Amino acid sequence: MLHSSLVPFATVLHSCLSALLAAAFAAPAFLAPQQSPSNPPEPERGYAAFYSSSLEGHKTACGGVYSPAKLTAAHRSLPCGTRLRVTNIRNGKSVRVTVTDHGPFSNGRIIDLSYEAARRLDFLKQGTTLVKLDVLR
């Protein structure tokens, strides 16, 4: 048992050691990705496809209803409501879409687009195209 005059010292020492250990095991700030207006995230690149017309009227993962006429998209990790600029790398055309669904769940694709978005990007005949995704603020 500690002598009564050492109890306050032991409490302070314990607090200091706890703070030092927490700081020592915390991830250094330089390892965490820094997001700022002057340092936007790198654009994602990969293949896009478009939804089948048979999905018209079906409910999306975000709670809406799919319409081929709207400018919408499905992405695996971006949250619902995220606005993107999708650029067709092959022809330079771009369109702004809103993420309203999760997916695609097929290997090799990073995004599925509505029919109208694919039409504006001019890849309906090909079925897929190489795109660049920029998250809009």
Task: Say if 59 falls within a structural domain.
Answer: yes
Task: Say if 9 falls within a structural domain.
Answer: no
Q: What is the CATH number of the domain that holds 119?
A: 2.40.40.10
Task: Say if 3 falls within a structural domain.
Answer: no
Kindly report the pTM of this predicted structure.
Answer: 0.71
Q: What is the pLDDT of residues 20-36, one digit of tens each?
A: 444 445 545 444 455 55
In the predicted structure, residue 126 carries a pLDDT above the cut 70: yes
Task: Say if 19 falls within a structural domain.
Answer: no
Task: Say if 82 falls within a structural domain.
Answer: yes
User: How many domains does the chain divide into?
Assistant: 1
Encoded amino acid at 51, one letter: Y
Q: What is the pLDDT of residues 68-89, one digit of tens each?
A: 999 999 999 999 999 999 999 9
Surface-to-core class of residue 25, CB atoms within 10 Å of its CB (0-12 exposed, 13-18 middle, 19+ buried): exposed
Predicted local confidence at residue 30, as pLDDT: 46
Task: Say if 89 falls within a structural domain.
Answer: yes
Predicted local confidence at residue 131, as pLDDT: 98
Question: What number of other Cβ atoms are within 10 A of residue 129's Cβ?
Answer: 21
Domain carrying residue 49:
44-135
Task: Say if 33 falls within a structural domain.
Answer: no
> Are the C-beta atoms of residues 113 and 103 closer than 8 Å to each other?
no
In the predicted structure, residue 58 carries a pLDDT above the cut 80: yes
